[in-house]
Chain A
Amino acid sequence: GAVVSQHPSWVICKSGTSVKIECRSLDFQATTMFWYRQFPKQSLMLMATSNEGSKATYEQGVEKDKFLINHASLTLSTLTVTSAHPEDSSFYICSAWTGSNYGYTFGSGTRLTVV
């Protein structure tokens, strides 16, 4: 139980375009989801916390107009990287609080490459 499905697994896009990443909780309701970014050989850095039906809370230094987060339902949160640039190339991972003994569960991650 407590599975989060993240899509796509990898994506290559051109500079200046936008990319949307989806995370769905399959067997539980995720009122809170977290979005992380991870550069090679580094730790997970929290970008933002999204709560269903309200605006996301962004961490300091994360541009909210560039990384658009939508959490319109209890099972779906999306991260849109707008006007992507090569420096946005990274591994993006979502996580959800399951509210149970499962604790936090993570999506499988999205490898974004901007060319």
Chain B
Amino acid sequence: GQSLEQPSEVTAVEGAIVQINCTYQTSGFYGLSWYQQHDGGAPTFLSYNALDGLEETGRFSSFLSRSDSYGYLLLQELQMKDSASYFCAVGVAAGNKLTFGGGTRVLVKP
């Protein structure tokens, strides 16, 4: 089976940097994805890592170390609109089901 661990909550101020860690245990591994979900909304895709290293997309970056079964999402220059829940997710093959972590609730304060 698959299991993913991430912190439950993080609080930071506007302009700060937040790192959300995700460790996983899976029977197979195709890639690590990150999703953002605002209250009442659907998850939206943020980033994806299939290979080790850093992927940068604007203010958001994601890192993967397959040997450590570990990844993180880095949120830079935090804005109030970044207050949301962030989920890491693992798929074992392309098009296969995703298993989600428990989610990290990020609260951005002025």
Considering only CB atoms and an 8 Å cut-off, how many residues of chain A contact the other chain? 23
- The interface stretch among A13-21, A63-71, A81-89, A97-105 is A97-105
The residue of chain B having its C-beta at the shortest distance from the C-beta of A59 within the complex is B97
State A92–B35 Cα separation when bound (angstroms).
Answer: 17
B44 at interface by CB-CB < 8 Å:
yes
User: Are B41 and A103 interface neighbours, CB within 8 A?
Assistant: no
Residues of B within 8 A of A44 (CB): 43, 87, 100
A residues lining the B interface (CB < 8 Å): 6, 32, 34, 41-46, 49, 93, 95, 97, 99, 102-109, 111
Apart from A46-B97, A93-B42, A109-B42, 12 more pairs, CB < 8 Å = A34-B97, A42-B102, A43-B87, A43-B102, A45-B100, A46-B98, A49-B97, A97-B94, A104-B45, A106-B44, A107-B42, A111-B40
